[in-house]
Structure 1
Amino acid sequence: PAAKFHSGNPVTAEDVAYSLARTVKLAKGNAWMIRGIVTPEGLEAVDATTIKITLAQPFAAFLAVLPWQFILEKAAVEANLGDDDGQTWLMTNVVGSGPFKVLRAEPGTLYQLGRADTAWQGGGGNLDGVIWQIVRETATQRLMLQRGEAHVAVDLTSEDMDALDGAPGVVRVIEPEYRTFSIKMNTEHGPLADVNMRKAISYATNYQALADSSGYAELMVGPLPNGIFGQDPNLDVPRMDLDKAKEYLAKTENPQGGIKLKMVYVTGLEQERRFSLVMLDSLKALNIDLEIQPLPWPDMVAACASPESFPDFFPVYQTANYGDPDNIAYAAYHSASNGGWKNAVYKNPEVDKLIEEGRSTLDPEKRKAIYEAFQKAVVADAPDVFGVLEKRKLGLRDNVENYQFTPVASNAIECWPLSIG
């Protein structure tokens, strides 16, 4: 009952129902999390503070995805609908109920938040506001932190973390997160449509080199991030074995190699460039050449439109937005994601079925067994070179207090609890 929008008006069940229905209708942003699960017909504002949600089908991760469904003030949006359901208006106006409100927004450059007078959440720190400045070069972030020009620097490189070791006034934070890095293969077009070629490449890959090039990281054990519910730490996954690699290569249409494949990576993303070089070197053992092409991210996304436009190798970082295996399984391996960057082309009816069973099964032990079967099925099909789980790397000034660990949502930091001592 204490929840209020920044306008001072109370957050009501009607606002919740309106916001969820709007998300489903627009089918953008985080709508994929509740696609086919929440419907407008299943939403009912019982009274001012009670919302009844009847799901279209059981969804074990429903409570985990709810925090990602943002609640807007219905009256404010309805008054500014325009011809796009208020989307244009909301680009420069905020109608939320969080502890901070937006004071300034310069997309791609800077966002300034101020403590809301209506803040109702408990556990807050002493911050009057937050300035989130976009600084592309991590070395610049590090120097700003060392000079005291920034209190927090997020997503630093391993080299930055080494340079900060012992730096006065700076606290290093190195912690695990659910961010997977895998190299997706074109399972529907070209030489890699053959599972034997994919397995040959999986066993030819120098995984130790992938780990070494990543700095603070550990190798993935299958498609799910290490430590998440249902992940099997004893899963039998490919590791570098050139004899096995050549056995699988012998079963393909190119038993002697002699082909040229293509790998793209995001322009300016040094870590992906290093991974590409590891793959270039690894494939030489199979007499396979690799063309490496940096592309702007929008061009990479465009290449995901069809199997014909999709390259042979496509590196992908994916962070779990919520702490459930469904997040990675559904987004990265279900065929419903085909055509998008998370899973451009891979489709396997058996894998789809297991993912759907994992979503709809509520019993934890049964879910665990389903996800164990899912992991084995994916490994057997070898759609990816399973890479690394990089550690989250950030630096804080030593007067920043009450930092809270957050394993989901890469680069996310909980600002509300923070205080400056």
Structure 2
Amino acid sequence: MSRIDPLRGRLVRRDLLKITGAAAGAAALGPFTGHGVLPSETAFARQDAASTIVFGVGTDVDALDPRTTDTQEGYIACANIYDCLVLYDLGATTIRPGLAESWEISEDGLEYTFNLRQGVSFHDGAPFNAEAVVTWYNSFVEGAPDSQYDVAQMPYVQDFITSWIDSVEAVDEYTFRMMLPKPYSPLLANLAIPIAGVISPTAIAGGLEALAVNPSGTGAFRLARAEDWTRDSQMVLEANPDYWGGAPKVQQFILKVVPEGSTRLQQVETGELDVAWALTPEDVERARENPDLVIVEDAGLNTNNVEFNVTKEPFTSKEVRQALNYAVNKQELSEGLYNGNMVPAGGVLPPVDWAFNPDLQSYPYDPDKALELLTAAGYDEANPLTFTLMAYTIPRGYNPVGDRLATAIQEYWAEVGVQAEIQTGEWTQYRADRREGKFQCSLSGWQGDNGDPDNFLYALLGGDSKGNGNNAFYENPEVDALLADAVAVSDQEERKTIYQEAEQLIVDDAPWTFLGYQKHQVVTRANITDFQLQPTYIYYFAGVSKT
């Protein structure tokens, strides 16, 4: 199998990256000129009120039931409407008290006793106590009294919570106990994820359909009226003046849907938005030039990849999967498509994860090695490797350029004779089809939920996670055994060694093309104070103010 002219292929690809970058930059310009912003109707619709913060997102929240929400936008909303038993420290993944003031863990790691805050009420007036916690927990446990568990609507509660807990019982009015079948070190980190937001028992009794649009938590903000949520437009949340953590600094927190990243940039520049999320690298660089804006950025707890369904041809072949990894120039991809804001990936875990392995043996750019492996797998010019690459179109935190990434990857693979046809899908249906195993190959990615390496390695590539987070349908018994060992160990250094061994096995099996880790970047108006990035992308707004 001969290689396509490398100079020609490289020029095509670089031109492509420049063209797609220029297109995004031009789109970002919109009504701008060299002399600044031209007057427009939107410029006069400014959100200047110091009592309101408007947060721009690319797509609408899916549901306000934390058990069923399945989008980052939903997590952001739920993180401000509900509280968890424990919360993340601001700007970190370490744990602080939430609705539980304190807790004790037994020496064998099988019993967690939580002491709850007193005097807290849900937004609907129901009291928060140990019985409310038991009702909430039972609502998503299969077979429990009054359970509402639905595997299709609650895709993550088993993986993150109920699989690791045998039972929950009230000890007294403000104390309850969790019993575990075996030690599980990430439990507290999992209980801080927004899906573990504690829900009013009255709201639970109303059923799944009602709760999705009529939430009741104990959080800093609340949806006061159903009409305050206009689908695909905006959601207006009101401050909870009785919030146990202190009344929020603003009266309203609005999530406004602005599908185009370039439009989000324009609106944060004109003041229609106070905070803009999921902007393209070009938009972020433009924002740096505006003294009225601030770029809040840090290393990202995420991963960006192409996912191979290892149960479908041609991706049952390890040689094919490895070849496609060697064919991608990740450094060039970062510089050309992401303005250098993607750290090229060696494996699954990002550099900010405490189990990151700088010595991981991975896939440097080597198109000759890719050709060698493709030939070994039986593919050549007479029998080229062909398949469909599915792509989403909307920006994500781990990939703010959407389906432009698919076009760039297609070019790299074409250079070694691979014919990948790109098809795009609507985001909600796209995600559902991936879980059902309908795709051969698809763009994928992940933004960490809890800061624990288990949340990447087990959630995305553990055998028990197939069809949930693991949409490569990858399974390696040796990997699964190591992941099981890691969560039973309390010593972090010992866990780190185990995770690094598991990750090396995963990388060797190549269920993904490992691409990179996107820098975490949010643009705010300069008059927004105390906004902090959360590594888990869930942003607490209770302490954020506007001057």
In 2, Cα distance between equivalents of 1:197 and 1:107: 43
User: 1:226 aligned to 2:390?
Assistant: no
The alpha carbon displacement at 1:30 in A equals 4.0
Aligned partner of residue 46 in structure 1, secondary structure: strand
2:215 aligns with 94
Deviations 1:56-105 (A, max 9, x none): 22211000011231212224533x3xxxxx11221232221112111322
Counterpart residue identity of residue 445, structure 2:
Y
Pick aligned residue for 1:44 from 169, 177, 198? 169
Please report the RMSD computed on the Cα atoms of aligned residues, expressed in angstroms.
2.0
In 1, Cα distance between equivalents of 2:403 and 2:191: 36
Deviations 1:329-370 (A, max 9, x none): 122101222234642421221222222222222221221111
Q: 1:102-113 residue pairs with structure 2 within 5 A? A: 102-103=223-224, 104-113=228-237
User: 1:16 aligned to 2:133?
Assistant: yes
When the two structures are superposed, what TM-score results if normalisation uses the length of structure 1? 0.91
The alpha carbon displacement at 1:48 in A equals 1.0
1:280 aligns with 410
2:328 aligns with 205
In 2, Cα distance between equivalents of 1:294 and 1:251: 31
1:83 aligns with none
Deviations 1:368-406 (A, max 9, x none): 111010111001101111011111222111111111221
Aligned partner of residue 164 in structure 1, secondary structure: helix
User: 1:339 aligned to 2:471?
Assistant: no
In 2, Cα distance between equivalents of 1:154 and 1:301: 21
Instruction: Report sequence identity in percent.
Output: 26
Counterpart residue identity of residue 534, structure 2:
T
Counterpart residue identity of residue 105, structure 1:
W
The alpha carbon displacement at 1:262 in A equals 1.6
In 1, Cα distance between equivalents of 2:414 and 2:238: 55
When the two structures are superposed, what TM-score results if normalisation uses the length of structure 2? 0.71
1:304 aligns with 434
Gaps of 5+ in 1: 81-85
User: 1:3 aligned to 2:120?
Assistant: yes
Aligned partner of residue 15 in structure 1, secondary structure: helix
2:487 aligns with 359
Deviations 1:260-299 (A, max 9, x none): 1221101355724222222222223332211111122244
User: 1:262 aligned to 2:388?
Assistant: yes
Aligned partner of residue 523 in structure 2, secondary structure: strand
User: 1:271 aligned to 2:401?
Assistant: yes
Q: Verify the 8 A CA contact 1:197 1:248 in the aligned structure 2.
A: yes
1:235 aligns with 360
Q: 1:17-96 residue pairs with structure 2 within 5 A? A: 17-25=134-142, 26=149, 27=151, 28-31=154-157, 32-39=159-166, 42-68=167-193, 69-78=196-205, 80=206, 86-96=207-217
2:446 aligns with 318
Counterpart residue identity of residue 34, structure 1:
I
Moved over 6 A (4+): none
Counterpart residue identity of residue 178, structure 1:
L
Tell me: CA distance 1:302–1:395, structure 2 relative to 1, closer, same or farther (3 Å).
closer
2:113 aligns with none
Tell me: CA distance 1:33–1:282, structure 2 relative to 1, closer, same or farther (3 Å).
same
Tell me: CA distance 1:117–1:29, structure 2 relative to 1, closer, same or farther (3 Å).
farther
The alpha carbon displacement at 1:190 in A equals 1.0
Tell me: CA distance 1:268–1:246, structure 2 relative to 1, closer, same or farther (3 Å).
same
Aligned partner of residue 284 in structure 1, secondary structure: helix
Q: Verify the 8 A CA contact 2:406 2:422 in the aligned structure 1.
A: yes
In 1, Cα distance between equivalents of 2:245 and 2:284: 34
In 2, Cα distance between equivalents of 1:29 and 1:246: 39
Pick aligned residue for 1:408 from 504, 512, 536? 536
Aligned partner of residue 108 in structure 1, secondary structure: coil
In 2, Cα distance between equivalents of 1:252 and 1:21: 50
In 2, Cα distance between equivalents of 1:132 and 1:335: 36
Tell me: CA distance 1:262–1:70, structure 2 relative to 1, closer, same or farther (3 Å).
same
In 2, Cα distance between equivalents of 1:341 and 1:365: 26
In 1, Cα distance between equivalents of 2:436 and 2:539: 36
Aligned partner of residue 169 in structure 2, secondary structure: strand
1:292 aligns with 422
In 2, Cα distance between equivalents of 1:362 and 1:231: 18
In 2, Cα distance between equivalents of 1:155 and 1:268: 9
Q: Verify the 8 A CA contact 2:239 2:248 in the aligned structure 1.
A: no
Deviations 1:141-197 (A, max 9, x none): 111111112211111111111211231321122222212111111322212211112
Tell me: CA distance 1:76–1:143, structure 2 relative to 1, closer, same or farther (3 Å).
closer
324-333 vs 98-107, which moves further: 98-107
Gaps of 5+ in 2: 1-117, 143-148
1:167 aligns with 290
User: 1:184 aligned to 2:301?
Assistant: no
Deviations 1:292-324 (A, max 9, x none): 1112224433433565x322x211121111110
Tell me: CA distance 1:291–1:324, structure 2 relative to 1, closer, same or farther (3 Å).
same
In 2, Cα distance between equivalents of 1:394 and 1:137: 15
Q: Verify the 8 A CA contact 1:36 1:56 in the aligned structure 2.
A: no
In 2, Cα distance between equivalents of 1:341 and 1:362: 24
Aligned partner of residue 376 in structure 2, secondary structure: coil
1:214 aligns with 338
Aligned partner of residue 237 in structure 1, secondary structure: coil
In 1, Cα distance between equivalents of 2:155 and 2:413: 37
Q: Verify the 8 A CA contact 1:3 1:11 in the aligned structure 2.
A: yes
In 1, Cα distance between equivalents of 2:449 and 2:372: 39
Tell me: CA distance 1:247–1:57, structure 2 relative to 1, closer, same or farther (3 Å).
same
In 2, Cα distance between equivalents of 1:243 and 1:91: 52
In 2, Cα distance between equivalents of 1:386 and 1:406: 24
Q: Verify the 8 A CA contact 1:6 1:117 in the aligned structure 2.
A: no
Tell me: CA distance 1:245–1:21, structure 2 relative to 1, closer, same or farther (3 Å).
same
